[in-house]
Chain A
Amino acid sequence: MHESMIQAKRIGLEYGFYLLLLAIVAVFTVISNSFLTVSNFVQIAIASTFLLAAAAGLTLVLVTGEIDLSIGSTAYVAATIVYLTADAPAGLSIAAALGAGLAIGLFNGWIVAYLGMNSLLATLGLMIAYRGVALVITEGTVKQAGEGLADLGQLKLFGVIPLIFLTALAILLVFQWILRKTRLGTYWLAIGNNEDSARKIGVPVRRAKLAAYALCGISAAASGTLLAGYLGEITTFTGRGMEFQAVAAVVIGGTSLFGGRGSAFPGTLAGVLLLIIINNGLGTRGVSPFVYPFVAGALIFFAIYLDAIKNRARSS
């Protein structure tokens, strides 16, 4: 009996969140006629795209026990590169934006892994600095993306599934593959569990962290590029507040803030979907806009509380 209760508690902690997601989908399906429709799920997919792309890379950084608060600003810088290359072919524009993200990611990784700076404070400062760079370039005004990229942003597979969502999903799946199936992923998990121990067994800690930040920079840049393609323009709001939403989604999805545990798929995907579905579902019911921040905040609180319980259980 006692063992079965422990087992039930363990299952609840590990999978309760997915049950919650299913329950929320079921509730909205019952109370709103327009929720469970193909066109609404397409809208949910589109709304998820930008957060999904950014949160995918952040998952890797959080698994190592570090954090990157500059992802929203990185997305804005990448979108700014899209503006600067608006006259170039779309492929070149995308490559330049992702290249900027890679450069930012490498720099972030270098100062955290090689200079030993606190990742929270360092990336908080860089978040402001990167946004400043983008604001200088755009002069704080709305800029246009190239037509080629804007056309790509409208493409839909079979006329239904948005290409931008598939792109974000592909990034997430590739990152999950790296996390679970490669030596690099094992290094990240080992570092997140215990950095000193990982170093003693020969894990190249600094290089592994650098790689996580580099991929995080690329995924943040992908988010900004996808948004620029979708809207056809770059606004000063690009990526604003994205870092906090992404941290919330990743933690809700089961990745530990303390590192060493987590997944991009299904964890982060489910975390992003939960936040977006709540927003969407409340919207289809015409609920007051003041309700969403309360519901999302409560959810984030419980996710972090559960994370603390899991870590306590693991420590003991």
Chain B
Amino acid sequence: MTRLTRRGFMATTAAASAALGAPAIVHAQGKVTVGMAWPGMQDAVWSTSHKLLNEFAAASDTEIELVFTAADMDVAKQASDANDLISRGVDVLLVFPIDSKAISSSVKRARDAGIPSMAFLRQVHADARHQADVFVGIDAKYQQLSSARTVFEKMKADGAEVGEVLWVSGDIRDENSRLRGVGLQEACDEHGASIAQDLVGNWDPQQAAAALAPALKAYPDINHISVASDVMMSGVRQVLQDAGRWAPHGEPSHIYLSSVDVFPIGLELLRSGHLDADTIFDVTGMCREAVDLMPRLAAGESFDSDILIQGPVFTPDNVDDPEMQAQLWAT
């Protein structure tokens, strides 16, 4: 649909939504109105990203108005929210999909209306027929790769044997967890290591503990555990404590630990020397990038590839550096 026909559609939909009672967007010169179809506000990432997007939008050189909707994890409501935003004539549709396949129909409706769409954090499923114009998310593969790689390098510098790694993964159905596993495998390939066992923690510390405890028996000589998220770290800590293997770096019984997210427990364990590397879940960088893209997307610019944010790796040596501290959002 051309820009001209899009305006025609806007006029029609704006009139229709006004007639139906939904306030139509008034398009001021140079102002970009972005409709946000969010999954809800129950999760820290959802609420934090909402807050940061508003902050960055307010500080942007371009005037950006964010029109927010939250679907409370209801796929049908998210589709309805997206339709409502399209009807109201937003300039850009920003979707944080609850269901990466179901959102495809909303993306199509936006495209039919001449409205570009941006997927945020969760990509529209690769098999879906209609893809968002751009995806801004976290490079999940890089997160685990960079964290594990840092630990392998540290192990080699320490003269420790690099061999097998226990992998405490997230949910087996979760794309982020799968990609983090791919990242760990790449790090292993780089350093001549292998994954001894995939332990499904389902992002739950209790389940992570239940899976890790017997695996430690099966692999008593293991010296590196890679965890898919700090959210499971309390379970890992308990199991290692119970097994007498909970010791900071430098002590003989230390098990090297790599993780992802840099949540408060990760910071605490980096400072105590128990955790060796932790790659941040860079919500700040993702929100900054998304706001930068909004005016360009509204102006009709197209993007050939996804925008994947690669956050820095936190280690015991840099955890309290001011520039690293400035990256934190979950503390």
Contact = CB atoms under 8 A, between A and B. Distances in A.
A140 B217 contact: no
B196 A227 contact: no
Interface residues of A, number: 41
Interface string B135-149: 000000000000000
Interface stretch (A18-26, A32-40, A255-263): A32-40
A280 interface: yes
B152 to A, nearest CB: 22
Contact of A39 (B47, B172, B243, B265): B243
Interface in B217-240: 217-220, 231, 234-235, 238-239
Contacts of B243: 39
Given A42-B242, A235-B234, A289-B172, A284 B203 contact: no
Interface string B184-222: 000000000000111110111111011101110111100
A283 B265 contact: no
B330 interface: yes
A87 interface: no
Given A140-B46, A141-B330, A142-B264, A37 B205 contact: no
A151 interface: no
How big is the B interface, by class?
A: 35 or more
Interface in A276-313: 276, 279-286, 288-290
Contacts, number: 105
Interface in A1-54: 32, 34-35, 37, 39-40, 42-43, 46-47, 50
Contact of A47 (B41, B209, B231): B209
A141 B44 contact: yes
Contact of B217 (A34, A139, A141): A34
B210 A279 contact: yes
Nearest to B46: A140
Contacts of A129: none
Contact of A139 (B44, B202, B239): B44
Given A142-B264, A289-B198, A34 B218 contact: yes
A139 B214 contact: no
Nearest to B196: A286
B213 A47 contact: yes
A46 B242 contact: yes
Q: In the complex, which of the residues A35, A47, A282, A283 has the most CB atoms of chain B within 10 Å of its own CB atom?
A: A283
Which 6 residue pairs of A and B lie closest in terms of their CB atoms, listed nearest first? A283-B214, A34-B217, A43-B213, A237-B204, A289-B200, A231-B234
